[in-house]
Amino acid sequence: MKFVALLFTFIAFTSFGQDSKAQGILDKLSKKMKSQTSFYIEFSSTMKGDGFSDSQTGKGWVKGDKYYASFGENTMISNGSKTWTVVKEEKTVYVSDADDEDEDMVNPRKLMTLWESGFKNQYVKETTLSGTAVHVINLYPKSASTADYHTVALYVSSSSNELKKVIMKMKDGTSMTFRMTKFTSNPSVSDSKFVFDKTKYPGYSVVTD
């Protein structure tokens, strides 16, 4: 469960002190995300540290405050009231109230809006990523002394105003890179997608917090 938590984790802080150029780009990105009634993303991720490297792929659907995310062999489902975290390796489903989710845990909705609070920002440069022009913006936590991450780098498409890549850099030298490989605006998705169906997980233990 600890490893799964790391894969879905970002640290939240109180926002302050913004770079005007960076903030302008992020404001446009926020406006675009808030205009979505639903969205679908696919991404790859790589976690690297001292002597280890692990790569996974994931995908997620978001509709309002509901979401469904699969990451490797694990799944997170929320109907806006309850959240189910399905850990295949343990054959266990962890259930919690959506309002009581760990602030350090991130769902696809938070992933696509993580810059909106908790960090000061700084514009770094414009470069290319797989042939696409992108802005690079660094986020720094306000509470640097208590934060596990010292920097989060965002890569935002100059033309489409979409988040393309995120690099999270931890103080212990570990880094995690998310690369967005697909983004679909306003897909049609049934509310049933965001409800846990126990019959799909025979033999799993259900643990309620």
Report the C-alpha gap between 40 and 33 in whole angstroms.
12
- pLDDT tens digits, 156-187: 999 999 999 999 898 889 998 989 999 999 99
Q: Tell me the C-alpha distance between 99 and 195, whole Å.
A: 16
Say if CB 117 and CB 106 are below 8 A apart. Answer: no
Q: Write down the pLDDT at residue 106.
A: 56
Domains belonging to the chain, first-starting first, are: 15-208 (2.50.20.10)
Place of tokens 């280890």: 52
Phi, psi at residue 74, to the nearest 5°?
Answer: -115, 155
What is the pLDDT at residue 6?
46
Cβ within 8 Å of residue 145, ≥6 positions away: none
DSSP string, 105-171: B--HHHHTTGGGSSEEEEEEEEEEETTEEEEEEEEEES-TTT-SEEEEEEEEETTT--EEEEEEEET
Least confident of 47-51, 64-68, 100-104, 197-201: 100-104
The distance between the two most distant Cα atoms of the chain, rounded to a whole number of Å, is: 53
